[in-house]
Amino acid sequence: MNYLIHVSILLAGMYLFYWLLLRKETFFGLNRWILVGSLLTAVLLPLLKVPAELSLRSANAPVFSLPVIPAPLGTTSEREATDAAVVSPVPEPTATTDTKGAIPAVQTTPIGYLSRSSLLVMGYFLGVVVFTIAFLIQLLIVLRKRRGLEFIKDDGATIYEMKDDTPPFSFGNWIFINPTKYDGETFEQILAHEKLHVNQGHTLDKLLAELVVIIFWFNPFAWLLRSAIAKNLEYLTDAEMLKAGNSRTSYQLSLVKVSVPQYGLNLTTNYNESFLKKRVTMMNIKKSSARSSWKYLLLLPFLLLSVITMNARQIAPVGEQVASTTTADNDVYKPSEIAEQAAINGKGAMPIPKKDGGKVHTETITREFDLGNVNSSIEKLLTVHNVTGEIKVDGYDGNTVKVMVEKTIRANNDKDLRDGIREIQLGASEANDGLFLYLDAPFTTVDESSQDFELENCGGKNCHYYQYSMSYHIQVPRAMSLELSSINGGDIVVNETRSKSIIARHVSNSIYMRDVTGVKEVFTISGKIDVSLLENPSTSTSFISTSGSVTVDVVDRDFGAEVAYSSISGKLISSFPAKKKGREGSSLGSRGTAIVGNGGPYMELRSISGNLVIK
């Protein structure tokens, strides 16, 4: 019992150490070994005995364990035998009683009586059995999945070709994927992703985490560590994919295409959509600097402190033992109270200011940019990279871009409010081919020439102690092309433009477009898509959402496209004639490729939890 409690305290401490100091760092490879090492350390460290001269524990401290309730005894001899075996503070009797010839008092134990400690022990082992069975069932499911599947061996992995709609996953050196469900680029990227899991042995990490959960199922921190290990492995694999030269946007779109609403087996890799948003965010933040690596060294004094305060003392040689009424194994420690980590708000890990009594600052920033003749043959592009706040763009007849940004800062005190007012600024960069607008702050990195925009993780510390939002309301010449992106708080809205190209990407909200042309890509993770097109697309288009419906409203009644579509919990609904493998109708199921209307350019419609509508 002491061992289980000792390990539980170490698991809690190791997880809180990771959560508070390391989880925002992009040293994913190092974090992997820290997390796996946390499990091994928590399990093995309590077995180490510390020399008495190094230990801070009291040599005669009472045992920290659950009380034992002995069964009723019937005779003095039985009572004396028990007193000899159990340490008890009850003093020895001072007088001798002659029991010769006396009839011993007989006490009976009720049938089925169990002590409290026995019930707890039985409950613990029952939990171990239940979770062991659950583990074996998961393992059996994976083993049975291979039956009857064709496979090839490639680069140390065995790739099984599935026939159903199960999303891709890997276990050990096995990869399971249905190549017919995805386009060529998506298939190659997901296959490369799973090969990284295989070649780096990620299944071993998951198996170790499962074993710890089985043994310490009663400890919530064991479950939290298992979740942290699984998430960090995905961060690590995503980082390796980008490092190998894959396009960030293309790779993220591939992840969206294979993501699903339900969780997969704990033993395997999976593509759960609720975790996808965090993965995209981690791919977009700036890499941690070497200066933040000092935090990893803090783990050593924590472990040393736990050893000298909680581990058992070594028993001294017989000739040197000090007389004591406490046995050598009578070790003690006091479990410290483990506080829950407060909820972390947003990218900067800032405390949420109180609505009552909080400080609020609002201001409106207005700018105008004359870009010359936007209707010329040279395409002019407006690029907006926002973090928190909506983006609304309205087309009008003119050559000037009119920008109005509503800036809001919230904080708990005047100092933090002043910091937010000073640090949060509108950045703008003009060029011959357009305009680039972005959040200019100490925790953002911008390359104006390439228009690359990244958020820093500030070495895992708080980037700021205030909340902020920048809501854009922009009037643009109708012919101007658009590339818009945002992460939190507010939708992306585009109205009445005649653009040659529109690209819109969001992480947390919806995207709406009314009476527009030139749409090429619309992508959101946690919102719906509703687009009204003034004319038929002349090139390929893509509309992808993981958590909402996708609606494309076409004004031109001669609309036609080759539509590739998929939805987990929805279907394709078309008000135009649609044909799929000889089958015609307005509703053609949840997955496939259909010729809609008169046929034409390629159009991609994807969603996980919504319908796909063309009307």
**Residue 184 carries which side chain, given as an amino acid letter?**
G
- 3-state secondary structure at position 83: helix
| Burial per residue of 273-290, b for 16 or more beta-carbon CB atoms within 10 angstroms, e otherwise | bebbbebbbbbbbeebee
Q: Which long-range contacts (CB under 8 A, 24 or more apart) does 183-187 make?
A: 183/564, 185/250, 185/254, 186/253, 186/254, 186/257, 186/258
Is the pLDDT at 335 greater than 50? The verdict is: no
Pairwise CA distance, residues 481 & 474, whole Å:
13
Nearest to 190 by CA among 271, 300, 296: 271
| pTM for this entry | 0.57
What number is the average pLDDT over the span 239-263? 82
* C-alpha span between 143 and 150 (Å, rounded): 14
Average pLDDT, the chain: 79
pLDDT at 493: 96
For residue 339, give the DSSP letter: P
d(CA 92, CA 166): 71
User: Of 486, 362, 354, 367, whose CA–CA distance to 421 is shortest?
Assistant: 362
On the 0-12 / 13-18 / 19+ scale of CB atoms within 10 A, 470 is: buried
Q: What is the pLDDT of residues 231-241, one digit of tens each?
A: 999 999 999 99
Q: Look at the block and give the residue holding tokens 């490729």.
A: 593
* Chain segment 15-35, per-residue pLDDT in tens: 998 988 888 888 899 999 999
pLDDT tens-digit readout, 117-147: 778 888 889 999 999 999 999 999 988 888 8
Three-state DSSP class for residue 290: helix
State the pLDDT at residue 313.
58
Residue 352 has pLDDT above 50, yes or no: no
Please name the residues in contact with 410: beta carbons below 8 A apart, sequence gap of 6 or more.
353, 358, 359, 360, 361, 417, 420, 466, 467, 468
Q: List strand residue ranges (DSSP E) for 357-477, in order.
A: 359-370, 381-385, 391-396, 400-411, 425-431, 434-440, 444-447, 452-455, 467-477
Share of the chain above pLDDT 90, in %: 33
How many other CB atoms are there within 10 angstroms of residue 74's CB atom?
A: 13
Residues in Cβ contact with 361 at an 8 Å cutoff, skipping those fewer than 6 apart? 408, 409, 410, 417, 420, 421
Q: For the residues 549-556, what does the mean pLDDT come to?
A: 87
Nearest 5°: the CA angle 389, 392, 396 is 155
Q: Are 241 and 193 in contact (CB under 8 A)?
A: yes
pLDDT category of residue 57 using cuts at 50, 70 and 90: low
* Contact indicator for 45, 303 with CB cutoff of 8 Å: yes
Once rounded to an integer, what is the mean pLDDT over residues 166-185?
88
Alpha-carbon span 53 to 18, nearest angstrom: 31
The helix, strand and coil proportions of the chain, stated in percent and rounded to the nearest 5, come to: 30, 25, 40
Higher pLDDT, 468 or 155: 468
Extract the tokens encoding 449: 């020439």
- Mean pLDDT in residue range 291-307: 81
φ/ψ (deg, to 5) at 396: -150, 170
Burial 482-505 (b: 16+ CB within 10 A, else e): bbbbbbbbbbbbbeebbbbbbbbb
First to last CA, the chain: 66
> Phi and psi dihedrals of 418, rounded to 5?
-65, -40
| 8-state DSSP, 350 | B
pLDDT at residue number 273: 66
Q: Measuring CA to CA, which residue among 330, 335, 240 is closest to residue 282?
A: 240
Q: State yes or no: pLDDT of 320 exceeds 50.
A: no
Q: Output the pLDDT for position 432.
A: 66
Which pLDDT tens digit goes with each residue over 401-433?
999 999 999 999 999 999 999 999 999 988 767
Cα–Cα dist 142/476, whole Å: 55
For β-strands 434-440 and 425-431, DSSP reports them as antiparallel
Residue type for position 505: R
294, burial (CB in 10 Å: exposed 0-12, middle 13-18, buried 19+): exposed
Judge whether 599 and 560 are in contact, CB under 8 Å: yes
Predicted confidence (pLDDT) at residue 116 exceeds the cutoff of 80: no
Q: Are the beta carbons of 565 and 612 closer than 8 angstroms?
A: yes
DSSP string, 170-204: EETTEEEE-GGGS-HHHHHHHHHHHHHHHHTTHHH
Q: Predicted confidence band at 183 (pLDDT cuts at 50, 70, 90)?
A: confident
Q: Whose CA is closest to 516, among 502, 492, 497?
A: 497
CA distance 407 to 413: 18
- Mapped onto helix, strand or coil, the DSSP state of residue 158 is strand
In whole angstroms, what is the distance from residue 64 CA to residue 560 CA?
75
CB atoms within 10 A of CB 144: 9
Residue pair 367/426 in contact (Cβ under 8 Å)? The answer is: yes
| 582 vs 569 pLDDT, higher one | 569
State the pLDDT at residue 55.
67
Residues in the chain: 615
Q: In angstroms, rounded to a whole number, what is the distance separating the alpha carbons of residues 464 and 481?
A: 34
Residue 259's pLDDT is 77
Strands of 519-524's sheet, edge to edge? 425-431, 434-440, 381-385, 481-486, 502-506, 519-524, 541-545, 602-607, 560-567, 591-597, 578-580, 583-584
Residue of 513, 517, 515, 470 lying closest to 493 (CA atoms): 513
Q: Which two tokens stand for residue 29?
A: 């490879």
